[in-house]
Amino acid sequence: AQSVTQLDSQVPVFEEAPVELRCNYSSSVSVYLFWYVQYPNQGLQLLLKYLSGSTLVKGINGFEAEFNKSQTSFHLRKPSVHISDTAEYFCAVSGGGTYKYIFGTGTRLKVLA
């Protein structure tokens, strides 16, 4: 069975500071990993995904994530955040021949002026 853990429910950070949102997964098979962003009162939007190959994945809006197989992690980073990055971020995992996703519980990023 697969699972995803996002330990931080809320992360406050000042504008122009770096941020890291943590995601850990467990799986007995190879996985695909995703980050989604949800702005207030909207649906989820795909930020980036890891399928294979380079462990550093770049996504939209300046975000990137690094796949670490030994640590079973897929942390999301941005070197300098903006007020407009305030949103909820979800990590998701799929794999093992199923197309069903397992979503984490989300991390609410609040960027402070």
Partner 1 sequence: NAGVTQTPKFQVLKTGQSMTLQCAQDMNHEYMSWYRQDPGMGLRLIHYSVGAGITDQGEVPNGYNVSRSTTEDFPLRLLSAAPSQTSVYFCASSQQGANRYGYTFGSGTRLTVV
Read off φ and ψ for residue 53, nearest 5 degrees: 85, -140
Q: Which stretch binds partner 1 (CB under 8 A): 21-29, 36-44, 62-70, 71-79?
A: 36-44
| By the rule CB under 8 A, 56 interacts with partner 1 | no
In the numeric block, which tokens belong to residue 68? 């670490």
Q: Which stretch binds partner 1 (CB under 8 A): 11-19, 42-50, 66-74, 77-85?
A: 42-50
| Cα 77 from Cα 108, distance rounded (Å) | 14
Residue 83, classed as helix, strand or coil, is helix
| By the rule CB under 8 A, 37 interacts with partner 1 | no
| By the rule CB under 8 A, 10 interacts with partner 1 | no
